[in-house]
Amino acid sequence: MKPVVLSLGVLLLGIVSGWCSEKPKLNVLMIAVDDLRPELGCYGSPVARTPATDRLAEQGTVFLRAYCQQAVCSPSRTSLLLGRRPDTTKIYELQTHFRKYLPEVVTLPQHFKQHGYHTQGLSKIYHGGLDDPHSWSTPHWTPPGPGYGKAETLAALRQEQEELRKKFKGPAIEVLERDPKTGMPLKVSPARYRVRGPAWEAPDVPDDALPDGKTTAQALEVLQQLKDKPFFLAVGYLKPHLPFVAPKRYFDLYKREQLRLPSNPFPPKDVPALALTNWSELRGYKDIPAEGPLPEQTALDLIHAYYASVSYIDAQVGRLLEELERLGLREKTIVVLWGDHGWHLGEHGLWCKHTNFEVATRSPLVISAPAQKKPGAKCNALVEFVDIYPTLCQLCNLPIPDGLEGTSIAPLLDEPDRQWKTAAFSQYPRGRVMGYSMRTERYRYTEWRDPKSELPVAVELYDYQTDPHGDVNLAGTPQAAKLVEELGRQLKAGWQQARPPSPTVPAVENPR
């Protein structure tokens, strides 16, 4: 009998061990693309050549209406990586680190690190110069080398850089405040000077001669190193941010006759001046006029270069996905790709971002998770970038921290047509006035509010059912008065009242 009892004991021990053991952790590959508007094949672009992202979309879910919380780099990325909106993070510009106001906040990668993941960031994840060491298991990596590829451009820029350093007696940006414990920059100065070349360039160089190609090469090495441990790898790409520089072969993918100027190169009718910009970011480049509209040829050059830059980044995404497959990691890795905000390519007579318009606040979001029930689906639900933090927690079976201001969109991977949020919210400051913008199923409603009275000094209303490009501001028309009142109440009620009717139950850790 003794051997039988021993065998039963071993069997029971094995069963209990099985109950108490953790399921294997899913990895996360997060791909962040700077200034990427939904100019991708999987979003219906008839021109863009993006086969790798389109393949990822076939394996996951394309969120057709995903919105950032502020259409500029640092506020948007901070909001996404903290799962909190700009009025909570207090980050509205490019010079301040979020830990100045939220020193103890736990970021998305930091949360994964605290739950046993190796977390690593490559290139632009947080805004440049404002990285967060608490987020990573190993120091953040930045690609070496210049952003242009032609020798004559680089020589001219080096000379100008040296002259300006002598003139201003130091670097363009200075650290104004550091964390007293860690020495991490909390506040940096605005740039005292900028060295900028042409707005675009097509050097005849290999992918890895430019920073984004170097980032991919580094990411492939990191994936090989991490293949046997749970990881959260964040890979940031600089393009299609200005200047639009990509290897020449990506320009060659597009024929000039394919390219078109936007159909609405004019401000919306009755738009308040607060809603518009002079797109100073673009005007700082050598070949761009300081005032007035762009010449048609210049505009087409920029559109061509933007498409080429998008295709260059798509090729890098393809290299990452191929390496996941080669290493046998694809079936245990969640891939999430996002652009930090949209980008005007002449719509409304505007370029760059820095607005509350649809073109600036809407950006791509593609999520592919192992075992999702509806791969290849396109989801029309209104989703926000603050939703990414709780979504990845739920998909990886981690607890969702308190204080997040988004909703997990994991249920939409299985049921893309289910009822969801009634609105998505964005904002943008103009001096002392804050523009609060809300996208509903049919409308975009924006109030530009005075900070003292909190009353609107200007209002915008666009009806995308009758005006799909948002070319007419209806807010001041008598027939829209009642609707403006209703949408104003909804905007004031805020994101808390716009959540899905059946809130997602937070995920819990696997039983041990």
Per-residue pLDDT reduced to its tens digit, 71-81: 999 999 999 99
What per-residue confidence (pLDDT) applies to 479?
97
Res. 510 pLDDT band, cuts 50 70 90: very low
What is the average pLDDT value for the chain, to the nearest integer? 93
Beta carbons within 8 Å of 270's beta carbon, 6+ residues apart: 472, 473, 475, 476
Q: Report d(CA 436, CA 23) in Å as an integer.
A: 43
Beta carbons within 8 Å of 234's beta carbon, 6+ residues apart: 30, 32, 109, 119, 120, 121, 122, 125
Res. 502 pLDDT band, cuts 50 70 90: low
Residue tagged active-site, from 42, 68, 73, 393: 73
Helix (H, G, I), strand (E, B) or coil at 111: helix
The token duo for 376 is: 């290849």
What per-residue confidence (pLDDT) applies to 23?
66
Centroid of chain to Cα 62: 14
- Whole-model pTM: value is 0.93
- Judge whether residue 422 has pLDDT over 50: yes
**What is the mean pLDDT of the segment spanning 146-154?**
96
Q: What percent of the chain has pLDDT over 90?
A: 90
Res. 512 pLDDT band, cuts 50 70 90: very low
DSSP 386: G
- Judge whether residue 233 has pLDDT over 80: yes
Q: Is 97 a catalytic residue?
A: no
What per-residue confidence (pLDDT) applies to 14?
40
**What is the mean pLDDT of the segment spanning 94-111?**
98
Paired strand residues for 141: 122
What per-residue confidence (pLDDT) applies to 505?
44
Q: Are 475 and 274 in contact (CB under 8 A)?
A: no
- Judge whether residue 292 has pLDDT over 50: yes
What per-residue confidence (pLDDT) applies to 182?
86
**What domains sit in the chain, N to C, each tagged with a CATH number?**
25-145+205-417 (3.40.720.10), 149-196 (no CATH)
Residue tagged active-site, from 97, 111, 118, 127: 127
More reliable by pLDDT, 3 or 437: 437
What per-residue confidence (pLDDT) applies to 24?
77
- Judge whether residue 341 has pLDDT over 80: yes
Q: Is 42 a catalytic residue?
A: no
Q: What's the angle, vertex CA 410, arms to CA 405 and CA 413, rounded to 5?
A: 140
